[in-house]
């Protein structure tokens, strides 16, 4: 078995907690889901002097090592960002940290920023000539300060070779899941997302381009049969998934089934089925070379016309444009 993939997350006083713990938890869960016999991840937190740091929410994070102890044995180095909220939102930049990044970057296999950490990478000259993203509230500042960087505030994350940048806070988890996909394949990434009850894959475009793995459920209703049916739907997208057919599987009347499903999921059976099929179509467009008729058939949407209608109505774009942007 190969050695674990070594991840170091650089943290600073005032950092948003999820900038650090979000990606760390993705790598941790992926390791546990992978089980014995497969190389997972080791995650360590580095601070300037190895001291604990207090996050923006007042929670204290312990450090495993100092920044100067981060050497060339790191597979992935994540740089978290810090913002100061006043009349204007500004990233916190430190000359010593920027110099450290210039020294540490050459020996790192994969270098990434979370949230406004992109400002640190840019200040170190590591994003020159590349496209990058950051928290939408600091994107204009990044573009102004670093005109040699092509700043796109829209995507969840951007990859340019070994350099990755991502949008604000929770987007670090999306980027980490994409890294798990790159390291171990989509199967482990999907299993990790399911375990964490998070998005299967948000490829970019902020929240308007993402469909959740599960719909929030009513905690007062056990709804085990509905939950089992939802998992079954995801595995049988090309079958008859009309309300009548689904109600028949549970031996319920259509009216009672629709009422129970809506109470459990806060959406209708038809809307849920369309969202799951649309998610499947997005993955096929992103990850495969299937033609539009094949994507429509494999996702259960049926025809290219239905595929177009769903993309227009739900995402405000066309399947072809989506593929050009995210494939």
Q: Give domain limits for the chain.
A: 5-208, 213-327
pLDDT at site 24 = 97
Dihedral of alpha carbons 21, 279, 203, 43, sign: positive
Return d(Cα 6, Cα 4) in angstroms, integer: 6
Return d(Cα 77, Cα 73) in angstroms, integer: 10
Structure-token match 């599987």, residue found: 249
Please, are residues 25 and 61 in contact by the beta-carbon 8 Å criterion? no
Q: What is the mean pLDDT of residues 284-303?
A: 94
Helix, strand, or coil (residue 131): strand
- Sorted by sequence, the CB contacts under 8 Å of residue 104 that are 6+ apart come out as 67, 70, 71, 74, 77
Given CATH 3.40.50.880, say whether it is the number of domain 5-208: yes
| pTM over 0.85, yes/no | no
Return the CATH number of the domain spanning residue range 213-327: 1.10.10.60
Please, are residues 258 and 268 in contact by the beta-carbon 8 Å criterion? yes
Helix, strand, or coil (residue 260): helix
208 pLDDT exceeds 50?
no
187 pLDDT exceeds 80?
yes
Dihedral of alpha carbons 58, 59, 64, 70, sign: negative
Using CB atoms within 10 Å of the CB of residue 196, give its burial: 0 to 12 exposed, 13 to 18 middle, 19+ buried: middle
- For the segment 212-254, what is each residue's pLDDT rounded down to a tens digit? 344 444 444 445 788 889 889 988 999 999 999 999 999 999 9
Helix, strand, or coil (residue 55): coil
């Amino acid at each position: 078995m190969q050695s674990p993939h070594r991840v170091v997350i650089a943290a600073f006083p005032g950092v948003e907690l999820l900038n650090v713990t979000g990606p760390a938890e993705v790598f941790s869960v992926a390791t546990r889901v992978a089980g014995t016999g497969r190389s997972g991840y080791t995650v360590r937190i580095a601070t300037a002097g190895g001291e604990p740091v207090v996050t923006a929410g007042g929670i204290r994070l312990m450090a495993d090592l100092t920044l100067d102890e981060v050497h060339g044995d790191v597979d992935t180095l994540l740089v978290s960002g810090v913002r100061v909220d006043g009349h204007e939102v500004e990233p916190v930049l430190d000359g010593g940290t920027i110099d450290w990044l210039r020294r540490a970057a050459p020996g790192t296999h994969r270098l990434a920023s979370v949230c406004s950490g992109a400002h640190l990478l840019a200040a170190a000259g590591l994003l020159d000539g590349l496209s990058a993203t950051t928290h939408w509230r600091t994107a204009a500042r990044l573009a102004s300060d670093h005109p040699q960087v092509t700043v796109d505030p829209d995507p969840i994350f951007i990859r340019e070779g070994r350099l990755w940048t991502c949008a604000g806070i929770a987007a670090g988890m999306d980027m980490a899941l994409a890294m798990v996909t790159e390291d171990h394949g989509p199967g482990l990434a999907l299993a990790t997302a399911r375990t964490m009850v998070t998005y299967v894959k948000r490829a970019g475009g902020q929240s308007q381009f993402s469909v959740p793995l599960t719909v929030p459920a009513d905690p007062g209703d056990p709804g085990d049969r509905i939950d089992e049916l939802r998992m079954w739907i995801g595995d049988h997208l090309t079958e008859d998934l009309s309300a009548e057919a689904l109600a028949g599987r549970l031996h319920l009347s259509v009216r009672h089934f629709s009422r129970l499903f809506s109470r459990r999921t806060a959406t209708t059976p038809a809307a849920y089925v369309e969202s799951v099929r649309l998610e499947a179509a997005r993955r096929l467009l992103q990850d495969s070379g299937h033609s539009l008729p094949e994507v429509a058939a494999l996702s259960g949407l049926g025809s290219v016309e239905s595929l177009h209608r769903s993309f227009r109505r739900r995402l405000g774009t066309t399947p072809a444009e989506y593929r050009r942007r995210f494939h």
